[in-house]
Each structure stands twice: as C-alpha cells, then as structure tokens.
Amino acid sequence: MAALPKAILFDLDDTLIRAYAQPEEAWTRLLHVFAAHLDAHDAQSIDRVRVAVMEEARAFWNDRAEAAKWRLNIPGARRLSVRRGLARLGRADDELADRIADAFTELRRTEYRLYPDAHATVDALRDAGVRLALVTNGASETQRAKIERFELAHRFHHIQIEGEFGQGKPELAVYRHALERLDVPAADAWMVGDNYEWEVVAPQQLGMCGIWYDPFGAGVPAHATAQPTRIIKRLSELVE
Ligand SMILES: [Mg+2]
C-alpha cells in the first residue's frame, strides 16, 4: 500500500455511491414512459423535452446561491426544472411536470448503487489507521437514508451532512470542521470526490490534497485553474 495520509474525507454521491451520474440517459429513459402524455412520439421529440428540462435545471444549479438552497430539496428542484422545461416548449402543465419530476426522483432513488469497491476500500483505509470522514451536501433525511441503505455509518469516524451542519461544500468552513473533528491538520488530509470545484479546488485552498474521482474518464475541465493532486478512476486505487 502506498503512503497514506492521517485522514481522508470522502464525498458520498457519485463517489462512494453512484447516484446522479449520466442524467441524459436516465431522463431519456424516463421521458419515454411519459411519451403519450407529452405527445412526443419519436426519439427527436423526446430529446427536445429532455434538453429543455436539463437546460432549465442547469440554469439554477449554476447559480451558487440558488444551488445551495435547492440542494436541500432536490425533488422540489426537479419539479421546478420540469415545469420550466415544459413551459419553454409551449406545453405548460404543472400537474404533468410534477408527476414526471417525481417519477424521475423515484427512478434515481431505486437505481442508487454502491460502487463495488467502496466498502473494501474504506475498510482497508480504516484498518490501516486512517481517520475517515464522510462529507456530503444535501438534506439530512435524504443523505441519512443513503448512509443507512449502504451501511456506511459505522465505517466513518465522522459524518457531516450539509443539512445538519448548516453549510455545504465548497464553503471552507465545511472542511475545517471535519478536520477539527478528526483532529488532523489539513496538510495531513485528502479529500476524495467527483466534483472538481468542491473536492479538488476548495480543499486545496486549505492545504489538503484534492483527489479527483473520475470514473468515466471525463478528464480535467479545460477551464480548471487547479490541478488535482491525483486522479483516480477506481476507489481501490487508494489502497493499491
Ligand atoms: Mg459527488
């Protein structure tokens, strides 16, 4: 096993579990179910709806203040983006929009999957004496349900959820608090996650190592101002 730090902070969604990755495919699949309701009878019409909904979603997720608010109510955010997407296509129908959005929320929930090497990697790190934290954005109820479903609670020395702590990534206070709870200085800690801004750029500002989890090989964003300390495609690379 390569040299390990005193502490590692893990992201949850799309790092330990597969949750929201590759939304294009999931939306396309779901919108096919509603094809008759949407009067969308071919792939092209379905795709027009998908693009409208996803662009509306992107618009408020790109707004940092809006995103911080909606992260605590993702089903509500989905309803809003579908309502706006349908309205943009001249087919405003809030009742239908909410049914589609709620079906998407349920589809995603049923398809959450633990990454196959997540438990083994985390357990090996813990056995090696590394202090471990799970640091996740989102609402308490939603995130706690995932932590329970995937048997994660007992594996970590500290669990920090945005909806409980009161602040979310990339606020530096989030990482400072987690480090304090683990009693490890920033220079001896890694943050591992799939969000470039939250899990590479922000923790590096504190002197932590930002390990970017890039399972689909997306590559470093062209506009990136910071380079990840390391890029991994599988969690198990941390203990090889
Ligand atoms: Mg994530």
For residue 217, give Cα distances in angstroms to 122, 213, 227.
22, 9, 15
Q: Kindly give, in sequence order, each residue whose CB lies less than 8 Å from that of residue 149, ignoring residues fewer than 6 positions away.
A: 112
62 CA to middle of ligand 1, Å? 15
Joined together, the tokens standing for residue 116 give: 């196959």
pLDDT tier at 34 (50, 70, 90 boundaries)?
very high
Peptide bond into 185 cis (omega under 30): no
Quick: pLDDT tens for 135-144.
999 999 999 9
Q: What's the confidence (pLDDT) of residue 105?
A: 97
Q: Is the pLDDT of residue 222 over 90?
A: no
Helices (H) and strands (E) in the chain, counts: 12, 8
Distance 21 CA to ligand 1 centre (A): 9
Q: What is the mean pLDDT of residues 55-65?
A: 91
Spatial CA neighbour of 160 closest among 145, 146, 142, 140:
140
| pTM exceeding the 0.85 threshold for the entire prediction | yes
Q: What is the mean pLDDT of residues 22-40?
A: 96
CA–CA separation, 186 and 167 (whole Å): 19
Percent of all residues in the chain with a pLDDT value above 70, rounded to a whole number: 100
Q: For residue 2, is pLDDT > 80?
A: no
pLDDT of residue 128: 97
Ligand 1 centre from 76 Cα, in Å?
Answer: 19
Confidence category of residue 221, pLDDT binned at 50, 70, 90: confident
Q: Rounded mean pLDDT of 57-66?
A: 90
Q: What is the pLDDT of residue 143?
A: 98
How remote is the CA of residue 126 from the centroid of ligand 1, in Å? Answer: 21
* pLDDT per residue as tens digits for the range 124-182: 999 999 999 999 999 999 999 999 999 999 999 999 999 999 999 999 999 999 999 99
**C-alpha to C-alpha distances, 40 to 28, 168, 195, 234, nearest whole angstrom:** 12, 39, 34, 39
Ligand 1: centre distance to CA 187 (Å): 22
- Note the pLDDT of residue 223: 86
Ligand 1 centroid vs 11 CA: distance in angstroms? 6
| pLDDT single digits (tens) 104-125 | 999 999 999 999 999 999 999 9
DSSP character at residue 13: B
**Reported confidence tier of residue 21, pLDDT bands at 50, 70, 90:** confident
pLDDT of residue 121: 98
How many angstroms does the Cα of residue 90 sit away from the middle of ligand 1?
A: 34
> What is the predicted pLDDT for the residue at 8?
98
CA of 102 to the centre of ligand 1 (A): 21
Check if the beta carbon of residue 83 is closer than 8 Å to that of residue 92. yes
From ligand 1's centre to the CA of 2, what distance in Å?
25
Could you give the CA distance from residue 220 to residue 226 in angstroms, rounded to a whole number? 9
Ligand 1 mean position, distance from CA 18 (Å):
9
Q: Under a CB-based contact definition with an 8 Å cutoff, are residues 22 and 215 in contact?
A: no
For residues 51 and 147, give the distance between their C-alpha atoms in angstroms, rounded to a whole number: 32
Percent of the chain with pLDDT over 90: 92
3-class state of residue 176 by DSSP? helix
